[in-house]
């Protein structure tokens, strides 16, 4: 039985932590909103008062939080940060979607304390997290990856070591940018079809049967046609990911398509759609 701390029990983190628990590991959890831990406490899991308390005695510490700011706080807060509760030889596993620069900074800070960092962002939604079918996009060294592999396999079906710290973040941001760009094009096309005599659903059925379509695109179309805006991947989060991608690009000129797509999601936020699913941007084009 391995002692594991899991920080962040949101839509993804809660499902990931539950799979670790089901595998028989000793889990301690912490979440900014303590009520999110009620399900785990009912199953005999220890609830910590801070990331530091959660990390004390843990061999591996996972984090799955919203953004760079939240990640910095849970790891590096002088009094309550997880690194302050970890001892030399432990492993920090950061699965949040973050900027490459922050991941590299976190890796350096962990190394100063004799702690190994593995960045392990994931591709997949809530259903993949629940069914342990996540795809891991891993950054770090081979030795640390090898130590963590048995735990990652409990939550994921495919593990890919893509390079040093920051590379995993780049791959994850690239994946999400490609998804977001598809969503904006689909929403725009739906708006164009609204003003034509074509059968919108039929047109998307045909496009979906071609080689240029993707499973994700077909799923997004289904949600748009159904008007389903439940927040599987909220607008405000994918806009955050675009902001990190643009930061990595260095300028709008270096990534004009990403910049344009980000602008669509920014407009959606201005129109009050920030907490709705990313497919809700269709409302900007279909009246």
pLDDT digits (tens, 9 = 90+) for 53-65: 999 999 999 999 9
Q: What is the pLDDT of residue 275?
A: 97
Q: What is the pLDDT of residue 201?
A: 96
- Give the pLDDT band (50/70/90) at residue 133: very high
**What is the helix, strand, coil percentage profile of the chain, to 5?**
55, 15, 30
Q: What is the pLDDT of residue 15?
A: 97
- Give the pLDDT band (50/70/90) at residue 210: very high
CA 26: distance to chain centroid?
24
d(CA 246, CA 242): 6
* Catalytic residue check, 172: yes
Res. 272: pLDDT tops 80 = yes
Res. 229: pLDDT tops 80 = yes
For 118-181, the DSSP string reads EE--EE--HHHHHTT-EEEEEES-HHHHHHHHHHHHHHEEEEEEEESTTHHHHHHHHHHHHHHH
Average pLDDT (196-218) is 96
Percentage of the chain lying above the pLDDT 90 cut: 98
Average pLDDT (108-115) is 98
Q: What is the pLDDT of residue 1?
A: 76
Q: What is the pLDDT of residue 260?
A: 98
Q: What is the pLDDT of residue 287?
A: 82
Q: What is the pLDDT of residue 169?
A: 98
Average pLDDT (262-281) is 98
Q: First and final CA of the chain: distance in angstroms?
A: 56
- Give the pLDDT band (50/70/90) at residue 101: very high
| Residue in the structure block whose two tokens are 């439940």 | 230
- Domain architecture of the chain: domains with CATH: 3-164 (3.40.50.720), 170-284 (1.10.1040.10)
Mean pLDDT of the chain: 97
- Catalytic member of 46, 112, 153, 172: 172
C-alpha separations of 241 from 17, 109, 182 in Å: 23, 23, 15
Select from 140, 266, 16 the least CA-distant residue to 5.
16
SS3 209: coil
Q: What is the pLDDT of residues 1-34, one digit of tens each?
A: 799 999 999 999 999 999 999 999 999 999 999 9
Average pLDDT (125-152) is 97
Average pLDDT (78-82) is 96
């Amino acid at each position: 039985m391995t002692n594991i701390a899991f920080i962040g029990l949101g839509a993804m983190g809660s499902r990931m932590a539950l799979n670790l628990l089901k595998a028989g590991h000793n889990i301690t959890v912490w979440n900014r909103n303590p009520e999110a831990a009620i399900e785990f406490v009912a199953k005999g899991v220890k609830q910590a008062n801070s990331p530091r308390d959660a990390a004390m005695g843990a061999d591996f510490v996972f984090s799955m939080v919203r953004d760079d700011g939240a990640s910095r706080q849970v790891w590096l807060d002088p009094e309550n940060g997880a690194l302050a509760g970890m001892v030399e030889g432990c492993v920090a596993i950061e699965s949040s979607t973050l900027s490459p620069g922050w991941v590299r900074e976190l890796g350096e800070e962990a190394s100063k304390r004799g702690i190994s960092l593995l960045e392990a962002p994931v591709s997949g939604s809530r259903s993949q997290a629940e069914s342990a079918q996540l795809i891991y996009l891993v950054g770090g060294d081979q030795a640390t990856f090898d130590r963590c592999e048995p735990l990652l396999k409990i939550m994921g079906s495919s593990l890919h070591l893509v390079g040093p710290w920051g590379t995993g973040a780049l791959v994850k941001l690239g994946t999400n940018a490609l998804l977001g760009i598809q969503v904006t094009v689909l929403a725009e096309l739906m708006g164009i079809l609204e003003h034509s005599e074509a059968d919108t659903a039929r047109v998307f059925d045909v496009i979906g049967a071609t080689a240029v379509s993707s499973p994700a695109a077909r799923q997004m179309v289904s949600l748009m046609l159904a008007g389903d805006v439940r927040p599987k991947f909220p607008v405000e989060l994918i806009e955050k990911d675009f902001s990190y991608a643009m930061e990595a690009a260095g300028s709008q000129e270096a990534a004009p398509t990403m910049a344009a797509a980000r602008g669509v999601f920014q407009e959606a936020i201005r129109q009050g759609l920030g907490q709705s699913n990313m497919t809700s941007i269709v409302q900007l084009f279909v009246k």
